[in-house]
Amino acid sequence: MGVPLWMYLTVAAALFSIGMYGVLARRNAVAVLMGIELMLNAVNLNLVAFWRYLTPFNMSGQAFAAFVLVVAAAEVAVGLAIIIAVYRNRQSVEVEDVDMLKG
Amino acid sequence: MNFGEGLTPQAIAFGLFTILTIGGALGVVTSRNLVRAAIWLMLSLFGIAGFFVLLSAPFLASVQVLVYIGAIGILFSFAVMLTRGMTNLKERFNTQWWLAAFAAITAFALLMVGVIVPVFGTTVIPVADQVTTTVDLGVALVSGNQYVLPFEVASLLLTAAMIGAIVIAREDD
């Protein structure tokens, strides 16, 4: 293992920040979901890196990463279904056009 | 990374996966064509799978390739095509994109200062070369005193999400 832990943490922090920019700045709802995927992957990378460097005999890190993966898959399925339903009603996937709940 | 002993294979692979991951992520947030953004996303997730291999988590790496690149990547491509996001020629960023960029850079700087600078340069080596294997992960996921309850709840969540997605996306007739 020639790579120290802080390098993994740096990559994960950069990935999280890029994903956060995508979530905050994109107009298309599908692109926003892609940003969320990037953030979840940064979290997973952190979990596995800490598991490998600090507690490699305990399965918590990998198990948590697996559960994050499951939740991310569920989130993408439901999110894309919502986007398709909104597109069918509004003919738009721009997040700014989805203001049906606005008072 | 110990450059004194020359570049180790792990260090070279780490650099390669970093380029894949960060470059792909930048492509995701900047490309105008959303089909291209989906391809960039797959590239970025492939880089993460490589990191998992480097961190000796082969099961997670294969699941990453199967679920993320295989299933979620295709799902994103379908969503883009169904919503015609690719022919959307309006602005790709909203009017507050500079605020979003500021927030992202601030978050990165805070993470660097708060978490990474204290351990910067310290070569935290893994506590052991011997790690648990995929068999141990499988046992941990189904053994009664470890993760069997979250495991079952996760399968329930997946079923509920699948049914919910079908119900939400179904055409009303």
What is the pTM for the complete model shown?
A: 0.87
Nearest chain A CA: its distance from B156 CA (Å): 11
Mutate to test the interface with B, among A48, A50, A64, A94 (most CBs of B within 10 A): A48
Contacts of B10 in chain A (CB under 8 A): 1-3
Q: Check if B57 contacts A (Cβ < 8 Å).
A: yes
pLDDT in tens, A25-60: 888 888 899 999 999 999 999 999 888 888 777 788
For residue A92, give the chain B residue with the closest CA.
Answer: B83
Q: Is B142 on the interface with A (CB under 8 A)?
A: no
Residue B53: CB atoms within 10 A of its CB come to 15
Q: What is the pLDDT of residues B85-120, one digit of tens each?
A: 545 555 567 778 888 888 889 888 888 888 777 776
B5 and B14 Cβ atoms separated by less than 8 Å: no
B73 to chain A: which residues are within 8 Å by CB? none
Q: Do B41 and A81 touch (CB under 8 A)?
A: no
User: Rounded to an integer, what distance in angstroms lies between the CA atom of residue B120 and that of residue B123?
Assistant: 8
- Per-residue pLDDT tens listing for chain B (173 residues): 444 455 788 888 888 999 999 999 999 888 888 888 889 999 999 999 999 998 888 888 999 999 888 888 888 888 888 876 545 555 567 778 888 888 889 888 888 888 777 776 666 666 666 667 778 888 888 877 888 888 889 899 999 999 998 888 887 76
**Interface predicted TM-score (ipTM):** 0.89
Question: Residue B135 is which amino acid?
Answer: V
